[in-house]
Amino acid sequence: MRKILIIAPAWVGDMVMSQTLLKLLKVKYPDCQIDVLVSAWAKDVAKRMPEINNVLINPFKHGELGLWQRIKLGMKLRKENYVQCFILPNSLKSAIIPFFAGITLRSGFIGEMRYGLINDIYKLDKVALPLMIDRFCALANNGLKLSLIKYPEFLVDKLNQTSLLAKFRLNLQNPVICLCPAAEYGLAKRWPSDYFAKLADLLQTNGYQVWILGSNKDQDISNSIIHSASIKHNLYDLCGKTNLIDVIDLLSCAKSVISNDSGLMHIACAVNVPVVAIYGSSSPSFTPPLSNRAKVIQVNTECSPCFERTCKFGHYNCLRNITPEVVLHAVENQIDK
């Protein structure tokens, strides 16, 4: 049995997209065992990926070096006898643990000049590999066609879903539309909260119930939407009331999900529900929604995509020029189909 370790990315969306690599590895090595080293927040998400055998917790905070602790963790992992490790982050520190774990083949992009720590080195050609999933899968490709790449697919826990519906006194009598209004990267990826509020009004008028989903860090955004909405009889704010694994099961109830380019957009795609993905400062040419049921909405402005966290001109026209009516039309076209 070929034992493989994956050093997982730090961002939610990248974590979801990394499942494409796992699927490719299962094609290449059908009997392989895949373990993944992830941050604590992602452990339950990883457990929804059927390709993963064991989930190991990465105890380090984002940006933390902890050199001696990383060395000790690597030494501890030696007994696992991994034959290969795929190091998906590009940081120097992410390559320390596999090196001290004595893993024979350590695959990754050069990143922060990781010569020696990584011995199966790839140079990133951004033209040849424009998509994040292409980059992940290139590390394991070795002649396999990229057409073999399959989109992420998460397992849904129906028992947990039923429990959540009861807990929050939700029902599915009216079709559910989920709003994911946050984007951790910054304001330049967030469709305005007053637009989400207007959309919530339009959706409720058309007979839908609306659930707002996000983490406790997103509650200011959801509070703004609730405050600005004129209609609230079928509007439910679930931000900060669920964990990430609960969000997976709730998203699977939706007839459509409206989301910024964010981790929840990728999760919604992975549970195979229709998604309307709104892009501002970022580009679907790099991190597209990985679903055949997704509709991208983006407007061309002179300054987009800029990939900045905030708009240096202050107008956010790449987002404000996308009206709630346009998004509603996209949602209803999806549901009609």
Looking at the structure, tell me whether residues 231 and 116 fall in a common domain.
no
Of 117, 148, 179, which one is at a domain's C-terminal end? 148
**Residue 268 binned pLDDT confidence (cut-offs 50, 70, 90):** very high
pLDDT for the residue 289: 94
Of 148, 173, 201, which one is at a domain's C-terminal end? 148
289 CB-side CA count, 13 A: 29
pLDDT for the residue 266: 95
Query: pTM of the prediction?
Result: 0.89
Answer yes or no: is 153 within a domain.
Answer: no
Asked if pLDDT for residue 41 goes beyond 90, the answer is no
- Please name every residue paired with 4 in a beta bridge, in sequence order, or none if there are none: 34, 84
Q: What average pLDDT does the chain have? A: 93
Q: How many domains does the chain have?
A: 2
Q: Which of 81-85, 152-156, 285-289 is predicted least confidently?
A: 285-289
Q: Which of 32-46, 96-110, 121-135, 277-291 is predicted least confidently?
A: 121-135
Looking at the structure, tell me whether residues 90 and 11 fall in a common domain.
yes
| Structure-token pair, residue 233 | 């009889």
* Alpha helix (H) residue ranges in the chain: 12-17, 19-28, 43-47, 67-76, 96-100, 132-141, 158-167, 193-205, 219-228, 244-251, 263-270, 317-320, 324-336
Looking at the structure, tell me whether residues 61 and 92 fall in a common domain.
yes
Of 113, 148, 183, which one is at a domain's C-terminal end? 148
Q: Look at residue 87 and give its three-state secondary structure.
A: strand
Asked if pLDDT for residue 4 goes beyond 70, the answer is yes
Looking at the structure, tell me whether residues 254 and 190 fall in a common domain.
yes
Q: Which amino acid is at 254?
A: A
Q: Look at residue 32 and give its three-state secondary structure.
A: coil
Looking at the structure, tell me whether residues 91 and 35 fall in a common domain.
yes
Q: How far apart are CA 38 and CA 94, in angstroms?
A: 11
Asked if pLDDT for residue 316 goes beyond 90, the answer is yes
Q: How far apart are CA 288 and CA 296, in angstroms?
A: 8
**Residue 215 binned pLDDT confidence (cut-offs 50, 70, 90):** very high
| Structure-token pair, residue 273 | 């529900």
Interhelix angle 324-336/193-205, rounded to 10 degrees, is 40
Looking at the structure, tell me whether residues 140 and 199 fall in a common domain.
no
* Domain ranges, residue 34: 3-148
Q: How far apart are CA 292 and CA 298, in angstroms?
A: 17
Q: How far apart are CA 333 and CA 329, in angstroms?
A: 6
User: Residue written as tokens 């109830």?
Assistant: 253
CATH of the domain at 102: 3.40.50.2000
Asked if pLDDT for residue 130 goes beyond 90, the answer is no
Number of residues assigned to the chain: 337
- Read out DSSP for 197-229? HHHHHHHHHTT-EEEE---GGGHHHHHHHHHH-
Q: How far apart are CA 324 and CA 201, in angstroms?
A: 10
- The answer to whether 225 touches 212, Cβ cutoff 8 Å, is yes
Q: Per-residue pLDDT tens for 44-102?
A: 889 899 999 999 999 988 788 899 999 999 999 999 999 999 999 999 999 999 999 99
CA angle 213, 214, 215 (to 5 degrees): 145
pLDDT for the residue 308: 95
